[in-house]
Structures are given as C-alpha cells and as structure tokens.
Amino acid sequence: MTHSNLKIVSLIPSATEILAILGLTDAIVGRSHECDYPKEIQNLPVCTQPKFNPEGTSPEIHDRVTDLLQSALSVYQVKTDVLEQLQPTHILTQAQCEVCAVSLSEVEQAVATLTRSQPQIISLQPNFLSDVWADIQRVADALGVAAPPVLASLQSRIDACVQKTPALTSHPPLTKGGLGGDRPTVACIEWIDPLMAAGNWIPELVKMAGGLSLFGVEGEHSPWLKWEAIASSDPTVIIFMPCGFDLNRTRSEAMPLLQRPEWQSLQAIQTGRVYITDGNAYFNRPGPRLVDSLEILAEILHPESFHFGYEGTGWECLLGHSPL
C-alpha cells in the first residue's frame, strides 16, 4: 500500500503525534475527541466521545468514571457511523488504560460492524519508555515509512539531557537532595483527588533528568497514594501532572492543597519547589513529546544546568517563581 492510499483514523492523542512525527499527518482522516496536536488535525472528523461530563473537579470526574466502570460500561464510545463514512485502512488505538481512551475491545466491536471497509487495527500498550519507541517503530513498519531517523533524533535529545547529569545519575539514591550534586527526591502527582502518583514511564524520565522518583515504579501503572506518604517522605520537589489537565486547570486544583496543615512543614513548600505542568500535552501522552517532558523535568529539577524554554507554557512554579 502506498502512502497516498493510506486512510488512518487515530483514536488516541499519542498515536496521532506518532503519525505526525513519522510524516503521516496528511494520511489521517479521523481522530478522537481528545486529539488536538498537531493543529493540522483539529478540523478532522471526530470518531469518539466520552460517556461522562469531563468538566468539573478531580473528585467529580473520578466519581463519574468510577460509576461507569463499576457498571461494566466503557468510559468512551466509538462513532461507528463516522467510521463507516471514512472507510479507513488503519485504526490506531490503545490497550494501556481504559480511562485514558477508547479500549481495544470497543474498537474491535466497532470494526466488526463496518460494511464498507475492514481496517487493520494497530493497538499500542506502552508501559516503559522503550515501549513507546517500539510503538513508533511498529507503527512505521505497519504503514510503510521509516522510523530510524525519527528515533535517532529523539534519542539524541535524551542523550543531551542524560550526559549533563552524570554526577547526579551515578549517585546512590538519597532520601533528600538539593540543587547541587545530590539527586532531588521528587513526588510526581498524576491525579489530585483521590491522590495518585505517576507511574509507567514517569519514574524513568525523572531518573534521566537527574532526580529520584519517590512513589511510582518504572513500567507499572500509577499507584494510589495517601497524603501521609507525601508528608513522611518529605520530597525535595513536588510536581503536579494530572492526566487530561492543562496548566490553568492544574493550578486551580493544586492550589488548595498548599493549605493542608500537614504540608506546611514540607521542604518542597518551604523552599518554593512545587510545580505544575501541562500533563495533558506532555507527561500523559506516551509519544514523541515524552522527550519534551524529559526536558521539562530537567528544567524543573536542575534550573542551573538546563534551559529549554518550556517555563510558562509547559510548566510553572506554583508558589511564584522558580528558586533559581
């Protein structure tokens, strides 16, 4: 199949970004309701929709999603009528998280009802950072384009960060650290109420950026967290990266937490090292912009050594300006 004959529907934002970096933006004919990058795809037909109201506070959204899942219902639905009209040759979806996007089983059920096309389903399921790069290669292979130049470019940016922190990443894990030669200990928060730490590829990125992730485990799903765990671990740095939230929404959710009595004595708060990020655009999307996420972490953790220009768009200091 030639490039010009491809008609691809992407049902998850990270897959859309993988297609774009592989030079296949023009071959995308449909997208999910959450796909918003690159901007060229924003006017494409939307092929999914949520079954819950995505507006509201963290606990409100959590309760709505939990109710749906406990009722054995899916969180999203596929618009089969739109797929029928588009007649795609390929559909990209995921099997990593039922809360993040439409599930593989739902896509398979939708495709089974199509009469005008039988698209090939490509399902992504990344847990480690290496899985993301493998997904890029797999998508490229399935669609007949070259991945090595793209992967080499991403790896060179990773290397540029890691090579600047040899003294940091070679140290044994420390319970506490500062801006100098020790690794700062980092609490990455993926959901605010109820509290959830960031897992999967986030601990890897923190390590590459010269930090020590306190809670999430590399390659494992994000764990629920108790407030007491943050207080007892007393992290050097706290970074909020809620799934699906941009900077403004993250700020409004995170600010009330600073008033919690048990947080007042935390060194991260006393030193002003509490940060918010655009988790929706970066950290929660297992695609090419995880490298941007690494660069954001490097800026936050070691501002004396890294400046990529993400402050103000990708991240901000919640308590004012960054210490350095």
Asked if residue 236 has pLDDT above 70, the reply is yes
Residue 1 one-letter amino acid: M
Q: State the chain's mean pLDDT as an integer.
A: 86
Buried b (16+ CB within 10 A) or exposed e, 129-139: bebbbebbebb
Question: Over the stretch 272-308, which tens digit does the pLDDT of each residue have?
Answer: 999 999 999 999 999 999 999 999 999 999 998 899 9
Residue 147 three-state SS: coil
CB 303 within 8 A of CB 322: yes
Query: Residue 92: beta bridge partners?
Result: 10, 122
Q: Starting at the earlier edge strand, list the strands of the sheet with 8-10.
A: 28-31, 8-10, 90-94, 120-124
Residue 127 three-state SS: coil
With a pLDDT cut of 90, the percent of the chain lying above it is: 60
- The whole-model pTM stands at 0.87
Q: What is the model's pLDDT at position 174?
A: 38
Q: Which residues neighbour 124 within 8 Å (Cβ) at sequence distance 6 or greater? A: 12, 14, 15, 92, 93, 94, 95, 96, 135, 139, 286
Distance CA 318, CA 241 (A): 12
Distance CA 46, CA 110 (A): 15
| Residue 12 zone, left/alpha/beta (φ > 0; ψ -120 to 50; rest) | beta
Greater confidence (70 vs 317) lies with: 317
Token pair, residue 152, equals 């080499």
Average pLDDT over residues 152-161: 95
Return the CA Rg of the chain.
20
Greater confidence (4 vs 285) lies with: 285
Q: What is the model's pLDDT at position 54?
A: 57
Q: What is the model's pLDDT at position 137?
A: 97
Token pair, residue 162, equals 């890691």
Greater confidence (302 vs 56) lies with: 302
Asked if residue 65 has pLDDT above 50, the reply is yes
- When mean pLDDT is compared over 76-85, 147-156, 179-188, the highest value belongs to 147-156
Q: What is the model's pLDDT at position 312?
A: 95
H/E element holding 170? none
Distance CA 29, CA 86 (A): 7
* Domains within the chain, CATH numbers bracketed: 3-146 (3.40.50.1980), 176-317 (3.40.50.1980)
Residue 188 three-state SS: strand
Task: Tell how far CA 104 is from the center of its chain.
Answer: 19
Distance CA 108, CA 150 (A): 30
Report the DSSP pairing between strands 120-124 and 196-197: unpaired
CB 319 within 8 A of CB 258: yes
CA neighbor of 216 nearest in space, from 258, 254, 185: 185
Asked if residue 269 has pLDDT above 70, the reply is yes
Question: Over the stretch 157-185, which tens digit does the pLDDT of each residue have?
Answer: 999 999 988 655 444 443 343 444 478 99
* Among 145-149, 221-225, 261-265, the least confident range: 261-265
Token pair, residue 232, equals 């007892």
Greater confidence (187 vs 167) lies with: 187
Q: Does residue 184 have a cis bond before it (omega within 30 degrees)?
A: no
What sign results for the dihedral spanned by CA atoms 211, 186, 94, 6? negative
Q: What is the model's pLDDT at position 177?
A: 39
Average pLDDT over residues 68-93: 81
The CA-CA-CA angle for residues 284, 298, 170, to 5°, reads 110
Question: Over the stretch 99-119, which tens digit does the pLDDT of each residue have?
Answer: 555 777 788 888 888 888 899
Question: Over the stretch 214-225, which tens digit does the pLDDT of each residue have?
Answer: 998 898 988 899
